Amino acid sequence: MKVLVCFALLFASLLARAEPPVATELEQLKQQVIQLNRELFLLEEELLFPPQTQLAVFVSADAGQFFQLDSVQLLLNDTPVESHLYTAQQWDAIKRGAIQPLYKGNIKAGEHSLTAVFVGKGPDNRDYRRAVSHTFTKTEDAVLLELQINDRSSDYQPDFVVKPWSND
């Protein structure tokens, strides 16, 4: 019978924890760390990547049924600036709607060209390699570009698009 009572109290014992004051103090400290990190991040954005020079590139996918991403290489004005190899966990995150911040850098005002090379597995598990390019003019505002991997249902092939966004 003693064991039976133990079972019955199994959940109850887990729930009967009162919040001691030290927990409150610890939580406040954690919150201060979060705030400090946030302020630091904002200052870094302001100082290291001001809008006048900022270029940021993101990766996202819509469904991702016809393509499995292995890697992305980014070329800015024909010069490689970033490359990323994807783990299964990262690709899964993107397929579930997450947006990956792929690259952030500074560029001069004027016309630029960005090329993204996608490598992975296409329909029927075949090796797939596609590039997509985008030409843009850098002005006073930050340039935000989203590399979208879409499913094209008309021919069951993946589709790669560069979508510019404004931060206003």
Partner 1 sequence: MVQRLSRTLLLTLLLPSSLLAAAPVIPDNWHYRQAAWAFYLQQPAQALETLQLAKVQDPRTALLEAGLYLQLGMPQHAAGILQRLLNQDDVGDNALPRALRNVALLQFARYQLELGNKALAQQYLAQVQIGTDGQWLGEQQLLSQLVSWPDISLPEAPPVAALAGYSEMPYIVSNQALALARAGQSDVALNWLKQLEQQLSVPEQKSFWALLFSGQWRLLGAPTGFIYPTEEKAALGDYITLLKAQLHIDRQELADAEALLASFPLDSVLSDTALGLYSHILTEQRHIPTLLAVLQQQIKQQPFSLTAWQGATRLGEQLERQADFSGALAAYQWAEQYYQQQSNLVNQQARPLQVSQLQQGLSGWQQLQLSENNDLYRLSQDILTVEQQLAAAPQRQQRLQRLAQVVQFKLDQQQQLLSSRLPQLSGDAATLAQRFDNLQQHIADAEQQPLALSLTDGETYQQLRRLEQAEQRFASINSTLNSDNDYAQRLARLRGLLHWQYSDNSAQGRYQRREQLEAIKTALLAAEQQLAQLAAQGSSTERLKAQQQRLVELSASQQQLNLALLSQQQQLLARLNQQLQQQRSAQLAQLTELQRHNKQAMARMMERLLPAALTQAGVGR
Residues 112-131 contacting partner 1, CB under 8 A: 113, 115, 117, 129-131
At 126 the three-state DSSP class reads coil
* Residue whose structure tokens are 């995150």: 93
At 60 the three-state DSSP class reads strand
Is residue 118 within 8 Å of residue 64, measured between CB atoms?
no
- Least distance from partner 1 to the Cβ atom of residue 126, Å: 17
Strands 79-85 and 68-76, bridge-based pairing = antiparallel
Counting contacts by CB under 8 A, is residue 77 touching partner 1? Answer: no
In the range 2-21, which residues lie near partner 1 by CB under 8 A? 3-4, 6-8, 11-19
Query: Which residues have a Cβ under 8 Å from the Cβ of 38 and sit 6 or more positions away?
Result: none
Q: Which is nearer to partner 1, 28 or 125 (CB)?
A: 28
Q: List the structure tokens of 91.
A: 């690709």
- How many residues in the shown chain lie near partner 1 by CB under 8 A? 76
Q: Which is nearer to partner 1, 44 or 63 (CB)?
A: 44
Q: Which is nearer to partner 1, 66 or 143 (CB)?
A: 143
Stretch that binds partner 1, among 43-51, 62-70, 120-128, 150-158 (CB under 8 A): 43-51
- Residues 73 and 115: their CA atoms lie apart, in Å, by 8
Chosen residue from 60, 66, 103, 158 binding partner 1 by CB under 8 A: 60
Q: What is the DSSP letter of 85?
A: E
- Residues 158 and 128: their CA atoms lie apart, in Å, by 10
At 7 the three-state DSSP class reads helix
Counting contacts by CB under 8 A, is residue 88 touching partner 1? Answer: no
> What binding mask, one character per residue, do residues 131-150 give for partner 1 by CB under 8 A, x or -?
xxxxxxx------x------
Chosen residue from 70, 82, 84, 90 binding partner 1 by CB under 8 A: 90
- Least distance from partner 1 to the Cβ atom of residue 43, Å: 6
